[in-house]
C-alpha cells in the first residue's frame, strides 16, 4: 500500500517544525531549571505524585474539568476539541492497526488513512465499524468548533462577558484550527463519494455529493480538499509553538513539575516558562478583574500580562497595574500562580541592589510596654486610631500585658515593597523587624493588618513566635472566656480583605466574632470570591479615580445586603470602602470593642 | 389673586428673600425643617471679620420677618420640589407660583477624617464646637483646665479628594483666624498655632484681620497640613505635620486641636435634584443656570436659589442673594400675570 | 545642623534657565497628577521613613520637577513604599507611583 501523495507535504513539514520547536523549548527550559528544582524532580519522579499527575493530565488537559465549573457549555467546547481530537488520533491509530496489523505506517498514513485506504475492503474489522466511529468522533469535535464560532458571536451565553483580544499569530492559528475539522469532513466525504467507504456521516454526505456532480468534478474537488486539509494542519502546527496553542503540550509537563513540588518564586526562573506557555489565553481571568469591570483597563489582566511577558514586550504600566487580589488566580483553569509570576516580573523590572538601603533603621527602637504578647499595628493602622484604641481596650479588658512594637512609629513590614518588586530591599526591612521582635522576647505577635500578617507568615523567620491576626487572637480570647462580647441587634455585612481571605485563608474567625456581636449577612461575592477594595498596595499604577470607582462598586455591592454597617478586618480596606459607601465602615476590633461587657 | 412663593429653608438667605418679596407685595411661606428660624447662624457666636455677635444680625432679621407677617412653618422638611409645588416629608403638598430653595449646606462631619481623632479623643474639637462653647460661655478642656497650647487645622473637609470634597469652602480660613484670636483673648497665656495649606482671605477686612492676628495676637501660622493626631501619656495630643517652609517634619504636643471644618453640600440637594431640570454640580451643590446674571436661577423656570445651596458663601453674600432672588421671582411672576 | 536640600551643601539658586528639564517633563508626562501637588506636606508628615531619617518626599519630587536631579534616586531609595502618604494626600496623588517613577527615570543620576 502506498502512503505517498503530494498533499501530505504541508502536514509533514508542519509536524517536523512543531516537534523540533517544542522539543527544543522543553530541553532548554528543563536544562536551565535551578539545581534545587532538578533535585525535586529526581526525588519525586518515582512517587504517587507522578500517578496523580497522570490523572490530572487526563482530567484537565483532555476533559477540562475546571472549565466545566466556570460554565458547562464552555467546558464542553474545550473538552470536545481536546478530548475529541485526542480520540480521533488514538482511534485512528487503532483503525490502521486493525486493518494493516503490525505493519509500520508513517504518521501521515494514520492521519490521512481514509484517503490511502480506498483499496481496502470496506467492512467492520474486529466487529467494529471504524468509519462510523471515526465519523462520530469527528462530529463530536465539530460540535466544539461550532461552539467556538458561536462564542465569538455570543460569549456571554458561555459565561464570558469579555473574551481575549488575540495577537496576529493567535488569529492565524485559530483560523487554521477552525478550518481543520470542516476540511477533514469535506475531504473524507469527497473520498467517500468516489469510493463509498464512509461512515454514517461522511458516507451520507458523500452519497449526496455523488448524486449532485459528475465523477470528474468529484475527483478534482477531492484532491483539492485533501490539499486544503493538509495545509490547514500544517499552518496550525507551524504556528502552534509560537501561539496560545503551545498550552496544549505545555500543560502536561507543567502538571508533573508542579506535582513534584516545583513552584515559581519571587525571582524569575526557568520553571516560569512552563507556566507562561501553559496559558491558553482562554480569558476566564478577564471577567473577575475589577480593573476591567470598574476602572476600564482592558490590557492589564493576567492573560495579557502573561502574553506580554512571554513575547518579551512587558511594560511596567502593565506589570504594575494589578491589585494582586487573586480573584483571577482563583478562577484560572490551568491553576497558574498568576500573582507570583506578576511579582517576579516586577522584581526583574524594579529590583535594585540594596546593600546599604535602610541602614538608617539600625539601632532604632521606639517600642513601648512589656509583655509576652506583641502588637504590631502596621503603617495603615496608625492612620486608623479607632482600631488602635479598640485593640488597647480589648487588651485591657482581657488583662493582657502587651508590648507595642510600632505605636510611636516603626519600620514597615516590607510587604508593600516586596509587592512592588523590590524584593532585595524588602528583605532588609524584614530582618530589622525580626530582630526587634526577638529582642523583646515575645511569644505571640498580633497584628490587625492582613498585609503585615501575610508577610510575617510567609517571609519572616519567626520560629517560636506565634503570628496571629487580631481576628484569630480576639476570638481566642473570647473562647477562653477572657473577653465577654454582648450580642446586639445590628445587622452587619463582612468584607473579606484579599490578603486575609485568599491570602491567608482566614474566613471563619472574623465571621464568628461578628456573629457574637450581631447578625451577619453575606454580600453576593464573598469568601474566595470576595471583591478587592481597590486600594491594594500591590498596585502602584492605578490612580485615585480608579481606586474610587472600585471602592464605589464594592460599597454598592456591600450595601445591597441591606446591612446597617460594613465590617472588615483590614485598615486599608476600611479606609478604601468608606470612600465608596454612605454606611458606617468598622474594623472588626471596633465592633468587638463596642460590644464588650 | 395674590401669588404665593414657597421658600425652602429659613436661614438668613430664606428670611431675607421673604422680606424682600414682601417689600414687593408678594406673599411667601417659609418652610423650615428645624423648630426655629435662623439656620446655622443660631449656633454661631460672633461673625468675622468684625466680631459682630451673630444675634445682632439674626435678631433684627427675625423680628422683621415676624413684623411683616410672613407665614413660617417650622418642623416642616421639604422632600421634593417642583416649580409649582413643594412636597413635605409629612406627605403634604403645598402649591406655589414659584419656589426659592435656600436650604443651605451641611457641616463636614469631622469623624470621617479618622486620623485627626475627632470623636475618639476628648480634646479634639471642631470650629462648630468652639462657637457652641463660646455661646455657652464655657470654653475649657474636659477637666476644666485652660489650654496652654492650641492648634487650629485649616481645610478639614475642604480641598480633600479623599473625602470627596474637592471644593474650597471659602469661609473657613477667616473663621480659623477669627477663632484663633478669640481663643487668644480668652486665654492670653496660651500659644495658638494655625496649620494651613493656603490662606484665602477673599473678603473685605479679612486680610487685615489675618495681619492683626499675626502682629497683635502673636498667632503662629505654620504652612503644613497636619497628617495625624495621637494621644500622649499625659493626656495631651501629639500632632504631626511638615513645616513645609522649613522643609522638615514638625511634631508638637497640644492641649486642644480645633478642626476648621468645611461646608458640604446639603444632603437634601440630591432629593431636590430629582425635579426634572434641576441638577447638582460635581461637588453636590445645586448648579445655578449660570454663574453671572443667573446665579439665583435654576435651569427650571419657577425654581430659584439663594445662599449656600449653590456654593459656600458668607452671611452677607447669602443675604444679598436672598434679596436678588426675590427680585428675580417678582420679575418672573410679573411676566406671567 | 541646617538641612539644605539633600546632598547640596552650598546654597545655590534653582536655575530654571540652566537646568535640563527633559527628565522632569518625561516624569510629569507619565504622571500628570504630580503637578496637582499643593505642597501641603501631609505626605512628609506621615512618612514612615521620614520619621526615622532625613527623607522628605515632597521636597525631593518638587526638586526633581525643577530639574534638580542630583541625589534624588538615593533619596527615594529611603522610601519604604508603605503607602501612608497616599492615604493622606488631599490631592489624590499616587505617591507610591511617583517614587517608583522617579527611581525608574533617574536611576543614572
Q: How many CB pairs under 8 A join A and C?
A: 83
Whether residue A81 is contained in a domain is answered as yes
What pLDDT is stored for residue B56 in this prediction? 96
Q: How far apart are CA B14 and CA B266, in angstroms?
A: 15
CB A422 within 8 A of CB A354: yes
CB contact under 8 A, A379 and C78: no
* Whether residues A45 and A152 fall in one domain: yes
Given C80, C81, C84, which is nearest A383 (Cβ)? C84
Domain range holding A425? 359-477
The answer to whether the Cβ–Cβ distance between B228 and A544 falls below 8 Å is no
Nearest Cβ partner for B114 among A384, A407, A544: A384
Judge: C42–B227 Cβ closer than 8 Å, yes or no: yes
Q: Is A20 inside any structural domain?
A: yes
Instruction: Tell which residue, B237, B264, B258, B9, has the closest CA to residue B128.
Output: B258
What value does the CA radius of gyration of chain A take, rounded to a whole number of Å? 30
pLDDT of res. A300 = 96
Nearest to A316 among C88, C94, C104 (CB): C104
Is residue A299 one of the residues assigned to a domain?
Answer: yes
Instruction: Provide the pLDDT for residue B44.
Output: 96
Cβ neighbours of B140 (radius 10 Å): 13
User: What CATH number is associated with residue A565?
Assistant: 3.40.50.1860
Q: What is the pLDDT of residue C1?
A: 46
Pair (A379, A306) in one structural domain: no
Tell me how close the Cα of C98 comes to any Cα of chain B, in angstroms.
18
Whether residue A459 contacts residue A418, with contact meaning beta carbons closer than 8 Å, is answered with: yes
Instruction: Classify burial at C67, counting beta carbons within 10 Å of its beta carbon; exposed 0-12, middle 13-18, buried 19 or more.
Output: middle
In whole angstroms, give the CA distance from residue A284 to residue C109. Answer: 43
Q: How far is CA C47 from CA A142, A405, B274, C50, C68, in A?
A: 62, 17, 44, 5, 22
Q: Distance from CA of residue A493 to its chain's centroid?
A: 28
The answer for residues whose C-beta is within 8 angstroms of residue A44's C-beta and 6 or more apart is: A50, A259, A260, A261
Instruction: Give the integer Cα–Cα distance in Å for C75 and C71.
Output: 6
| Residue C80: inside a domain | yes
| C-alpha dihedral, B131 to B136 to B142 to B147, nearest 10° | 60
Residue C80, CA atoms < 13 Å, CB-side half-sphere:
33
User: What residues pair up with A373 in beta bridges, in sequence order?
Assistant: A402, A444
User: Does B78 lie at the interface with C, CB-CB under 8 angstroms?
Assistant: no
Q: Is the dihedral of CA B14, B17, B21, B23 positive or negative?
A: positive
Is-contact A288 A328, C-beta < 8 A?
A: yes
* pLDDT of B286 above 90: yes
Contact predicate B152/B179, CB 8 Å: yes
- Tell me the shortest Cα–Cα distance from B67 to chain A, in angstroms: 43
Tell me how many domains chain A contains: 4
The answer to whether the Cβ–Cβ distance between B247 and C40 falls below 8 Å is no
Q: Are residues A297 and A191 in the same domain?
A: no
Q: Which of A385, A407, A575 sits opposite B117 (nearest CB)?
A: A385
User: If DSSP codes are grouped into helix, strand and coil, which group holds residue B261?
Assistant: strand
Query: Which alpha helices (H) appear in A338-468, and where do they start and end?
Result: 338-350, 379-382, 385-398, 415-419, 423-439, 450-458
User: How crowded is residue A260: how many other Cβ atoms within 10 Å of its Cβ?
Assistant: 19
Whether B270 and chain A come into contact, CB under 8 Å, resolves to no
Spell out the residues 6+ positions from residue A6 whose beta carbon is closer than 8 angstroms to its own.
A227
Q: Which of B48, B63, B323 is nearest to B181 (CA)?
A: B48
Contact B164 A579 (CB under 8 A): yes
| Angle between helix A544-559 and helix A571-578 axes, rounded to 10 deg | 90
Where in the sequence is the domain holding C92, given as residue range(s)?
22-105
**Pair A461, A514 in one domain:** no
CB A291 within 8 A of CB A152: no
Phi/psi at A493 (5° precision): -125, 150
Selecting from B160, B197, B242 the residue whose C-beta is nearest the C-beta of C58 gives B242
Sheet holding B78-82, edge to edge: B78-82, B85-88, B93-95
Of B224, B240, B249, the CB nearest to C40: B224
Q: CA A60, CA A43: separation in Å to the nearest integer? A: 25
In tens digits, chain C (109 residues) has pLDDT values of 455 555 555 557 899 989 999 999 999 999 999 999 999 999 999 999 999 999 999 999 999 999 999 999 999 999 999 999 999 999 999 999 999 999 999 986 5
How close A228 gets to chain C, by Cα (Å)? 50
Within-domain flag for C10: no
Strand order in the sheet with B4-8: B71-73, B27-31, B4-8, B98-101, B303-305
Residue A412 Cα, gap to closest chain C Cα (Å): 6
**Interchain proximity C52–A411, CB inside 8 Å:** yes
Residue C27 contacts by C-beta under 8 Å, 6 or more apart in sequence?
C34, C64, C65, C101, C102, C105
Q: Which residue in A has a C-alpha nearest to residue C75's C-alpha?
A: A357
C3 is a domain residue = no
Per-residue pLDDT tens for B11-29? 999 999 999 999 999 999 9
Query: According to the model, what pLDDT value does residue B1 have?
Result: 41
Q: Which residues of B touch A384 (CB under 8 A)?
A: 114-115
Which of C40, C55, C91 to substitute to test the interface with B, most B CBs within 10 Å? C40
| C11 assigned to some structural domain | no
User: Is residue C92 assigned to a domain?
Assistant: yes
The string of pLDDT tens digits covering residues B140-195 is 888 888 899 999 999 999 999 999 999 999 999 999 999 999 999 999 999 999 99
Cβ neighbours, 10 Å, residue A132: 16
Same domain, yes or no: A120 and A193: yes
| Beta-carbon separation of A420 and C82 below 8 A | no
Q: Strand pairing partners for C47?
A: none
Same-domain status, A59 and A201: yes
Task: Please indicate, yes or no, whether residues A91 and A215 belong to a single structural domain of this protein.
Answer: yes
Number of domains in chain C: 1
- Reference A372, options A395, A391, A389, A393; nearest CA is A395
pLDDT of res. A354: 73
Which residues are within 8 A (CB) of A17 and not within 5 positions of it... i.e. 6 or more apart?
A: A237, A238, A241
The counts of H helices and E strands in chain C are 6, 0
Q: In this structure, are strands A373-376 and A444-447 parallel, antiparallel, or unpaired?
A: parallel
The model's pTM: 0.92
Q: Is residue B297 over pLDDT 90? A: yes
Query: Which residue's C-alpha cell is 520560629?
Result: A463
* CB pair distance less than 8 Å for A384 and B120: no
A275 plus A218 within the same structural domain? no
Q: Which of B120, B162, B164 sits opposite A385 (nearest CB)?
A: B120
Contact check, Cβ <8 Å, C45/B250: yes
Contact A451, A413 (CB under 8 A): yes
Question: What per-residue confidence (pLDDT) applies to A317?
Answer: 92
Pick the closest to residue A472 from A442, A505, A503, A502 (CA basis). Answer: A505
Residue C2 placed within a domain? no
Give the A-side interface with B, CB within 8 Å: 382-386, 389, 407, 544, 575, 578-579
Phi then psi for residue A283, to 5 deg, are 85, 10
pLDDT tens, position by position, A521-542: 999 999 999 999 999 999 999 9
For residue C15, the SS3 value is coil
A368, A384, A386: best to mutate for the B interface, most B CBs within 10 A: A386
CA B311 to chain centre: 10
Gyration radius from chain B CA atoms: 21
Q: Which residue of B has its CA nearest to C57?
A: B247
List CB contacts of C59: < 8 A, sequence separation 6 or more: B247, C5, C6, C44
A202 and A68 assigned to the same domain: yes
Taking an 8 Å cut-off on Cβ atoms, the answer to whether A352 and C92 are in contact is no
CB atoms within 10 A of CB C94: 23
d(CA B240, CA B122): 18
Over chain A (597 residues), the average pLDDT of each successive run of 10 is 87 95 96 95 93 93 89 92 94 88 84 87 80 93 93 83 84 91 94 90 92 90 94 94 93 95 94 96 93 94 96 94 96 95 93 83 93 96 96 96 94 96 93 96 97 97 97 97 95 98 97 97 96 96 96 97 97 96 97 94
Write down all domains in chain B, each with its CATH number in brackets: 4-104+266-336 (3.50.50.60), 110-262 (3.50.50.60)
Higher confidence at residue B325 or residue A122? B325
Q: Does C73 fall in a domain? A: yes
Higher-pLDDT residue of A2, B310 = B310
Please indicate whether, in this complex, the C-beta atoms of C56 and B243 are within 8 angstroms of each other. no
On whether residue A236 sits in a domain, the answer given is yes
What does the alpha-carbon distance between residue A84 and residue A90 come to, in Å, rounded to a whole number? Answer: 10
Among A556, A554, A538, A535, smallest CA distance to A546 is for A535
What pLDDT is attached to residue C3? Answer: 54
d(CA B125, CA B130): 7
Shortest Cα–Cα distance, B335 to chain A (Å)? 44
CB A339 within 8 A of CB A419: no
Cβ separation of C58 and B244 shorter than 8 Å? yes
- CATH code, C74: 1.10.1060.10
| Cα–Cα distance measured from residue A56 to residue A39, given in angstroms and rounded to the nearest whole number | 22
Distance CA C92, CA A525 (A): 28
Nearest CB to A409; choose among C51, C81, C83:
C51
Nearest alpha carbon to residue A418 among A540, A506, A531, A527: A540
Please tell me whether residues A339 and A365 are part of one structural domain: no
**Could you identify the residue written with the cell 499552518?**
A235
Chains that touch B (3 or more CB pairs under 8 A): A, C
Angle ∠(A58,A64,A69) on CA atoms, nearest 5: 135
| Contact assessment for residue B261 and residue B105, using Cβ atoms and an 8 Å cutoff | no
DSSP state of B157: T
Answer whether residue A530 is part of any domain: yes
The pLDDT value given to residue A9? 94
A521 within domain boundaries: yes
Amino acid at each position: 500500500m502506498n502512503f505517498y501523495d503530494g498533499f501530505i507535504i504541508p502536514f509533514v513539514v508542519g509536524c517536523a517544525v512543531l516537534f523540533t520547536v517544542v522539543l527544543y523549548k522543553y530541553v532548554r527550559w528543563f536544562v536551565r531549571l535551578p539545581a534545587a528544582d532538578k533535585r525535586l524532580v529526581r526525588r519525586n519522579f518515582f512517587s504517587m505524585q507522578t500517578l496523580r499527575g497522570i490523572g490530572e493530565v487526563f482530567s484537565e488537559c483532555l476533559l477540562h474539568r475546571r472549565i466545566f465549573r466556570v460554565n458547562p457549555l464552555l467546558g464542553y467546547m474545550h473538552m470536545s476539541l481536546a478530548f475529541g481530537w485526542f480520540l480521533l488520533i488514538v482511534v485512528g491509530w487503532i483503525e490502521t492497526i486493525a486493518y494493516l496489523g503490525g505493519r509500520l505506517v508513517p504518521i501521515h498514513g494514520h492521519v490521512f488513512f481514509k484517503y490511502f485506504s480506498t483499496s481496502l475492503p470496506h467492512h467492520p474489522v474486529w466487529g467494529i465499524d471504524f468509519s462510523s466511529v471515526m465519523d462520530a468522533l469527528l462530529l463530536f469535535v465539530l460540535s466544539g468548533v461550532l461552539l467556538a464560532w458561536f462564542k465569538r458571536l455570543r460569549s456571554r451565553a458561555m459565561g464570558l462577558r469579555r473574551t481575549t483580544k488575540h495577537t496576529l499569530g493567535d488569529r492565524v492559528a485559530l483560523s487554521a484550527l477552525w478550518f481543520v475539522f470542516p476540511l477533514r469532513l469535506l475531504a473524507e466525504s469527497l473520498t467517500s463519494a468516489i469510493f463509498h467507504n464512509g461512515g454514517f456521516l461522511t458516507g451520507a454526505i458523500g452519497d449526496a455529493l455523488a448524486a449532485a456532480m459528475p465523477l470528474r468534478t468529484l475527483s478534482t474537488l477531492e484532491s483539492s480538499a485533501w490539499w486544503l486539509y493538509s495545509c490547514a494542519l500544517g499552518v496550525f502546527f507551524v504556528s502552534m509553538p509560537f501561539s496560545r496553542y503551545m498550552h496544549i503540550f505545555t500543560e502536561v509537563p507543567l502538571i508533573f513539575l508542579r506535582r513534584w513540588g516545583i513552584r515559581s518564586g519571587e525571582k524569575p526562573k526557568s520553571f516560569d516558562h512552563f507556566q507562561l506557555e501553559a496559558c491558553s489565553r482562554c480569558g476566564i481571568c478577564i471577567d473577575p478583574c475589577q480593573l476591567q469591570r470598574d476602572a476600564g483597563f482592558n490590557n492589564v489582566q493576567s492573560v495579557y500580562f502573561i502574553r506580554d511577558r512571554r513575547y518579551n514586550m512587558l511594560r511596567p504600566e502593565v506589570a504594575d497595574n494589578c491589585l494582586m487580589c487573586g480573584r483571577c488566580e482563583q478562577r484560572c483553569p490551568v491553576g497558574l500562580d498568576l500573582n507570583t509570576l506578576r511579582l517576579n516580573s516586577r522584581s526583574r523590572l524594579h529590583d535594585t541592589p540594596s546593600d546599604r538601603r535602610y541602614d538608617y533603621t539600625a539601632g532604632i527602637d521606639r517600642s513601648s510596654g512589656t509583655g509576652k504578647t506583641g502588637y504590631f499595628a502596621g503603617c495603615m493602622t496608625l492612620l486608623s486610631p479607632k482600631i488602635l484604641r479598640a485593640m488597647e481596650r480589648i487588651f485591657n479588658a482581657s488583662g493582657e500585658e502587651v508590648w507595642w512594637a510600632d505605636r510611636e512609629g516603626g519600620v514597615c513590614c516590607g510587604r508593600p515593597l516586596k509587592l512592588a518588586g523590590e524584593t532585595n530591599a524588602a528583605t532588609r526591612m524584614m530582618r530589622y523587624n525580626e530582630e526587634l521582635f526577638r529582642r523583646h522576647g515575645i511569644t505571640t505577635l498580633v497584628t490587625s493588618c492582613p498585609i503585615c500578617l501575610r508577610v510575617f507568615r510567609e517571609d519572616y523567620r519567626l520560629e517560636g513566635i506565634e503570628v496571629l491576626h487580631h481576628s484569630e487572637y480576639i476570638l481566642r480570647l473570647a473562647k477562653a472566656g477572657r473577653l465577654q462580647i454582648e450580642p446586639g441587634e445590628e445587622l452587619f455585612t463582612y468584607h473579606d480583605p484579599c490578603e486575609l481571605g485568599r491570602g491567608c485563608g482566614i474566613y471563619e474567625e472574623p465571621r464568628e466574632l461578628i456573629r457574637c456581636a450581631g447578625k451577619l449577612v453575606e454580600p453576593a461575592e464573598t469568601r474566595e470570591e470576595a471583591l478587592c477594595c481597590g486600594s491594594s498596595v500591590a498596585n502602584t499604577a492605578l490612580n485615585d479615580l480608579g481606586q474610587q470607582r472600585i471602592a464605589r462598586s464594592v460599597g454598592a455591592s456591600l450595601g445591597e445586603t441591606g446591612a446597617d454597617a460594613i465590617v472588615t478586618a483590614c485598615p486599608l480596606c476600611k479606609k478604601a470602602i468608606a470612600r465608596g459607601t454612605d454606611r458606617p465602615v468598622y474594623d472588626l476590633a471596633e465592633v468587638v470593642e463596642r460590644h464588650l461587657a | 389673586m395674590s401669588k404665593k412663593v414657597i421658600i425652602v429653608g429659613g436661614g438668613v438667605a430664606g428670611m431675607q428673600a421673604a422680606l424682600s418679596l414682601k417689600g414687593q407685595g408678594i406673599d411667601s411661606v417659609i418652610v423650615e425643617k428645624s423648630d426655629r428660624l435662623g439656620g446655622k447662624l443660631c449656633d454661631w457666636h460672633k461673625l468675622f471679620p468684625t466680631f459682630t455677635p451673630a444675634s445682632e444680625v439674626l435678631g433684627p432679621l427675625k423680628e422683621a420677618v415676624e413684623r411683616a407677617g410672613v407665614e413660617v412653618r417650622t418642623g416642616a422638611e421639604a422632600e421634593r420640589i417642583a416649580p409649582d409645588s413643594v412636597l413635605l416629608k409629612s406627605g403634604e403638598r403645598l402649591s406655589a407660583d414659584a419656589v426659592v430653595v435656600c436650604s443651605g449646606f451641611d457641616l463636614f462631619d469631622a469623624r470621617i477624617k479618622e486620623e485627626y481623632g475627632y470623636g475618639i479623643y476628648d480634646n479634639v474639637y471642631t470650629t462648630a464646637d468652639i462657637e457652641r462653647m463660646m455661646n455657652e460661655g464655657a470654653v475649657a478642656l474636659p477637666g476644666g483646665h485652660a489650654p496652654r497650647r492650641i492648634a487650629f487645622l485649616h481645610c478639614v473637609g475642604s480641598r480633600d479628594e479623599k473625602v470627596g470634597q474637592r471644593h474650597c469652602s471659602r469661609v473657613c480660613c477667616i473663621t480659623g483666624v477669627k477663632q484663633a484670636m478669640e481663643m487668644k483673648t480668652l486665654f492670653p497665656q496660651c500659644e495658638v498655632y494655625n496649620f494651613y495649606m493656603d490662606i484665602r482671605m477673599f473678603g473685605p477686612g479679612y486680610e487685615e484681620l489675618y495681619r492683626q492676628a499675626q502682629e497683635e495676637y502673636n498667632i503662629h501660622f505654620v504652612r503644613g497640613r497636619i497628617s495625624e493626631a495621637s494621644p500622649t501619656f499625659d493626656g495631651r495630643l501629639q500632632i504631626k505635620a511638615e513645616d513645609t517652609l522649613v522643609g522638615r517634619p514638625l511634631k508638637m504636643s497640644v492641649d486642644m486641636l480645633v478642626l476648621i471644618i468645611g461646608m458640604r453640600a446639603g444632603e437634601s440637594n440630591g432629593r431636590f435634584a430629582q425635579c426634572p431640570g434641576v441638577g447638582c454640580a460635581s461637588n453636590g451643590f445645586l448648579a445655578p443656570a449660570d454663574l453671572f446674571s443667573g446665579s439665583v436661577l435654576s435651569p427650571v423656570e419657577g425654581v430659584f436659589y439663594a445662599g449656600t445651596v449653590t456654593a459656600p458663601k458668607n452671611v452677607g453674600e447669602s443675604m444679598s442673594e436672598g434679596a436678588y432672588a426675590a427680585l428675580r421671582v417678582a420679575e418672573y411672576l410679573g411676566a406671567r400675570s | 545642623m541646617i538641612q539644605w536640600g539633600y546632598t547640596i551643601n552650598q546654597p545655590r539658586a534653582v536655575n530654571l534657565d540652566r537646568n535640563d528639564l527633559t527628565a522632569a517633563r518625561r516624569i510629569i508626562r507619565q504622571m500628570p497628577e504630580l503637578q496637582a501637588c499643593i505642597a501641603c506636606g501631609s505626605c512628609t508628615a506621615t512618612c514612615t521613613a521620614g520619621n526615622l531619617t532625613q527623607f522628605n518626599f515632597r521636597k525631593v519630587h518638587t526638586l526633581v520637577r525643577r530639574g534638580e536631579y542630583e541625589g534624588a534616586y538615593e533619596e527615594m531609595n529611603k522610601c519604604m513604599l508603605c503607602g501612608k502618604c497616599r492615604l493622606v494626600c488631599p490631592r489624590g496623588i499616587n505617591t507610591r507611583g511617583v517614587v517608583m517613577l522617579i527611581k525608574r527615570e533617574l536611576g543614572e543620576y
